[in-house]
């Protein structure tokens, strides 16, 4: 079973080295029965993200310009599809996600119970800043209204896709609106999805790197224009 762990990265030089070392250690000790490749998508970083990732001896793909989260995810998922991976798992490169959630997240896919798994932070919402809880709920409500799919965490960056999903997904949005677009693709392609609860690790760094709350309005406008033009 081949698993590709995809980490989109933009100006993450401050943390990505430690994230990759810790992830490699976790794979060696806890996931040694799987054939796992780590893929970093350097999305046009202006700092040393690219060089640090390359020194970590993982697969690195580089965007000459910053295309945004959607562009980075599309590049990573296309790589996984072309290289015949059975599973692809996306996670943030800022240390916000816990590696201990990986086995739990891939389990429903391995059991043929889902094509897509979403790691939901809302089961641990008491550990989340209140503004993030509100934004997540409103985003999930909009996802329900647009696509008829209820999810507790539409903006989660922790996801698993099986080979069927990798073949059918066709992401078009370039930036943060991709998180909602994924549910449009789930609906359009009749993919089966489920959620698993995950732990989220909020630090001052990850809060600074995350999207601003007011930017959510711009994201929704872009999503409407893209999906319904």
DSSP per-residue string spanning 131-162? HHHHHHHHHHHHHHHHHS---S-TT-S-EEEE
C-alpha span between 213 and 154 (Å, rounded): 15
In this predicted model, what pLDDT tens digit does every residue of 159-218 receive, in sequence order?
A: 999 999 999 999 999 998 899 899 999 999 999 999 999 998 877 776 566 555 445 555
Strand order in the sheet with 2-9: 59-63, 35-43, 2-9, 87-90, 159-162, 116-120, 193-197
Instruction: Give the model's pLDDT for residue 109.
Output: 97
Q: What is the pLDDT of residue 138?
A: 83
CATH at 160: 3.90.550.10
| Tens digits of residue pLDDT in 57-82 | 999 999 999 999 999 999 999 999 99
Whether 8 shows a pLDDT value over 80: the answer reads yes
Reported pTM: 0.89
Measure the CA–CA gap between 226 and 46, rounded to whole angstroms.
28
Domain, as residue range, for 184:
2-228
Q: What is the pLDDT of residue 18?
A: 97
Cα–Cα distance measured from residue 169 to residue 112, given in angstroms and rounded to the nearest whole number? 18
Specify whether the CB–CB gap between 80 and 88 falls below 8 A.
Answer: yes
Residue 139 has pLDDT above 90, yes or no: no
Q: What value does the mean pLDDT take over residues 41-54?
A: 98
Q: What is the pLDDT of residue 144?
A: 87
Model confidence at 29: pLDDT above 60: yes
DSSP alpha helices (H): ranges in 12-162? 16-30, 49-55, 69-82, 102-110, 130-147
What was the pLDDT predicted at 13? 98
**Confidence at 224, pLDDT banded by 50, 70, 90:** low
> pLDDT tens digit string along 85-104?
999 999 999 999 999 999 99
* % of residues, the chain, pLDDT over 90: 71
Number of domains in the chain: 1
Tell me the pLDDT of the chain averaged across its residues: 89
């Amino acid at each position: 079973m081949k698993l590709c762990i995809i980490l989109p990265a933009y100006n993450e030089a401050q943390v990505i080295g430690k994230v990759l070392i810790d992830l490699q250690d976790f794979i060696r000790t806890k996931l040694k029965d799987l054939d796992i490749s780590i893929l970093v998508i350097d999305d046009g970083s202006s700092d040393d993200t690219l060089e640090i990732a390359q020194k970590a001896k993982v697969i690195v793909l580089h965007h000459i310009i910053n295309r945004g989260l959607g562009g980075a995810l599309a590049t990573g998922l296309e790589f996984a599809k072309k290289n015949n991976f059975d599973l692809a798992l996306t996670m943030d490169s800022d240390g916000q996600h816990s590696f201990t959630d990986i086995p739990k997240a891939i389990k429903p896919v391995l059991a043929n119970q889902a094509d897509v798994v979403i790691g939901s932070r809302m089961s641990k919402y008491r550990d989340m800043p209140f503004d993030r809880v509100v934004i997540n709920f409103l985003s999930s409500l909009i996802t329900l209204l647009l696509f008829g799919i209820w999810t507790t965490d539409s903006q989660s960056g922790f996801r698993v896709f099986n080979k069927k999903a990798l073949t059918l997904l066709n992401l078009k949005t370039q930036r943060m609106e991709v998180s909602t677009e994924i549910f449009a693709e789930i609906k359009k392609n009749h993919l089966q999805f489920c959620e698993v609860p995950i732990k989220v690790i909020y630090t001052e760094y990850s809060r600074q790197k995350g999207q601003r709350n007011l930017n959510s309005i711009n994201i929704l406008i872009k999503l409407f224009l893209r999906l319904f033009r």
